[in-house]
Amino acid sequence: MTTTATIRTRLRAGIVGVFFLLALLAISVQAVRLHVFEGAWLSERAAREYERAMVVQGKRGAITDRNGSPLAVSIDSPSIAAYPRQMKDRKTAARQLARALNQPQRDVVKKLDPKRSFVWLKRQATPRQAEAVQVLGIKGVDFITEHSRYYPSKTLAAQLVGFSGIDGHGLEGLEFYFDAYLKGGEQEITVLKDALGRRFEGAGMPANLPGGTHVVLTIDRTIQHIAQKALEASVTEYAAQSGIAIVMAPATGEVLALAHYPFFNPNSYRDFRRELWRNRAITDSFEPGSTMKIFNAAAAIDSGVCSPSTGSVKMAEKLGSRQLHHYLRAFGFGQRSGITCPGETAGSLSSFKAWSAIDTGAISFGQGVSVSAIQLIAAASAIANDGLLMKPLLVKEITNRNGRTVKRFSPEPVRRVVSSHTAATVRRILKTAITEGGTGVNAALKGYSVCGKTGTAQKIDDSGTYAKGRYLSSFVGFAPADHPELAILVIVDEPKVQSYGGIVAAPAFRQIALETLSYLNIPPGPDADRLQVSRGNRANG
């Protein structure tokens, strides 16, 4: 019995020993597999539980008007994030967060999927939203400071300035065109969390991340406001679809105002139709109608084939297609001006070789040719500037965070189009349009001499034929007429109450001119020296 018991005891001990040996072998094999073969993968997975990579940006540069008033700035704003796995009652948390953030509860529930270790609940939240979430005290909710774009003037010059997206990249307008200058430096950081999922404040945040540079425009916010107010009144009164107004300094090509109506607010750009975002003064082309007679007359007089008393049709006949095409190209039609804006159209000016005699006459009246608003005001400004065409100028300079100039944009002459004598002669002709009985009498200013030209162009429909009852009404002119300080273009698209440019657009020109001349302290009278000094002091101040 003793021997049998001993054998059994030894057998049991052997079986237990073999079991432990097998278990130890299995553990050893698993340890080797985990540490040697899958160590890197497991380390990465573990790191994901307490680390998250984020790209942070330095503060985006500002966009200001010529006098330093901000049109686009970047401000610090809280972004709200969540770590769903750290939440004990995700359903209750979703209900509370949805109410605080004014979001559909089903969307918040979807975000709080426990399979996700990190999720954004609201990027660039408002202070009120951040406070509403903070008082809830929900475990697993985090607040991360980011930079958000803010447009303090709201609708002012919105189509020109454009907007940037939630990640700080320019999407439209000058925000897009100058994105490389405006955006701050980027750096990837690691956000660390403790065992409870709480972020270590400041962990991994870079010091002295460089910000972007500032873009200083030629736009004057006061003149911009004047133009927008007058344009809105005209479009509204005549039940039109939209409108454009541009104010330019002829001597320099500086754009002092570039207005669109209807307006949109870039702070909430998603709430507006996409077509309202577009800077149509730059991107869209149209048939100019009778405003083209200005350049037809200038070409005919400058070439010497006609006198100021010749009629428009005779001018086109005597000038000929080759000469007319040459002058229109010289004025900048059929080619991009090179303005610092995205999406500029070249318009349309076909080769003179394809013109018939009828085509030549039609083009001299503004049919069969298309131009952009910026082309038209630049060409008109050449007449105001004694025949010298200037490149349209929208940006004065780019400055760093200390206010030092990084890049300067100076007035740039393009070419002499006509002689100063021809330009003066055309201005005298255009004065007659403002006198009693002229088509532009509604543009007349008390105390100031004005010259200009009306335009009423029938629009073309999708089939390529002229559309009945659809017109584009315009007025372009200068003030004061003898020594122009301002060139102003007003375009009203598809007015319903009236269609003539002299009725629809000329009053808006008058309002913009009168208020701007007063704002710039340009007094009535032909004192050219005093006018020039006044404008220069205002521009520098």
Reported as a pLDDT band with limits 50, 70 and 90, residue 2 is low
What pLDDT is stored for residue 453 in this prediction? 94
- At 222 the pLDDT is 97
Q: pLDDT: is 532 or 460 the higher one?
A: 460
Query: By the 8 A CB rule, do 416 and 331 touch?
Result: no
- Residue 464's pLDDT band (boundaries 50, 70, 90)? confident
Give per-residue pLDDT as tens, 61-120: 999 999 999 999 998 878 888 888 888 888 888 888 888 888 898 888 888 888 787 888
Checking if the pLDDT of 536 tops 60, the result is: no
Predicted confidence at residue 207, as pLDDT, reads: 58
| Residue with more model confidence, 312 or 487 | 487
Largest separation between any pair of C-alpha atoms in the chain? 144
Question: Mean pLDDT across the stretch 124-139?
Answer: 84
Q: How confident is the model at residue 51 (pLDDT cuts 50, 70, 90)?
A: low
Residues 6+ apart with CB under 8 A from 43: none
Share of the chain above pLDDT 90, in %: 52
Residue 454 identity (one-letter amino acid): T
Whether residue 171 has pLDDT greater than 70: yes
Q: What is the pLDDT of residue 56?
A: 67
Using a 10 angstrom Cβ sphere, with 0-12 exposed, 13-18 middle and 19 or more buried, the burial of residue 93 is: buried
Query: Range with the lowest mean pLDDT among 48-57, 197-206, 371-380?
Result: 197-206
Q: What per-residue confidence (pLDDT) applies to 469?
A: 85
Measure the CA–CA gap between 182 and 400, rounded to whole angstroms: 10
If one compares 34 and 99, the residue with the highest pLDDT of the two is 99
pLDDT value at position 297? 92
- Residue (of 349, 356, 373) closest to 316 by Cα position: 356
pLDDT bracket for residue 529 (50, 70, 90) = very low
Residue 386, SS3? coil
Q: What is the pLDDT of residue 348?
A: 95
pLDDT at 462: 77
The pLDDT of residue 203: 43
C-beta atoms surrounding 171 within 10 Å: 16
Which pLDDT band holds residue 444 (cuts at 50, 70, 90)?
A: confident
At residue 537, the pLDDT reads 37
Strands (E), 4-118: 51-57, 63-64, 70-82
How does DSSP classify residue 193?
Answer: B
What's the mean pLDDT when you consider all of the chain?
85
Whole-number Å distance between alpha carbons of 93 and 514? 60
Average pLDDT over residues 170-192: 83
Question: Contact at 8 Å (CB) between 381 and 360?
Answer: no
Examine the pLDDT at 147 and tell me if it is beyond 90: no
Residue 193 has pLDDT above 70, yes or no: no
Q: For residue 489, which phi and psi values (nearest 5 degrees)?
A: -125, 130
Is a pLDDT exceeding 70 seen at residue 245?
yes
- Here the tokens at position 479 are 């003030």
pLDDT above 50: residue 530: no
| Range name among 16-20, 343-347, 354-358 with the lowest pLDDT average | 16-20
Residue that wins the pLDDT comparison between 365 and 517:
517
What per-residue confidence (pLDDT) applies to 524?
80
**Position 539 confidence tier, pLDDT thresholds 50, 70, 90:** very low
Q: 455, 433 in Cβ contact below 8 A?
A: no
pLDDT of the residue at 526: 53
pLDDT one-digit tens code per residue, 348-361: 999 999 998 888 88
Domains with residue ranges and CATH for the chain = 52-85+96-190+212-217 (3.90.1310.10), 221-540 (3.40.710.10)
Strand partners, 260: 244
Average pLDDT (239-254) is 97
Q: What is the pLDDT of residues 414-432, one digit of tens each?
A: 999 999 999 999 999 999 8
What distance in Å separates the CA atoms of residue 120 and residue 107, rounded to the nearest whole number? Answer: 12
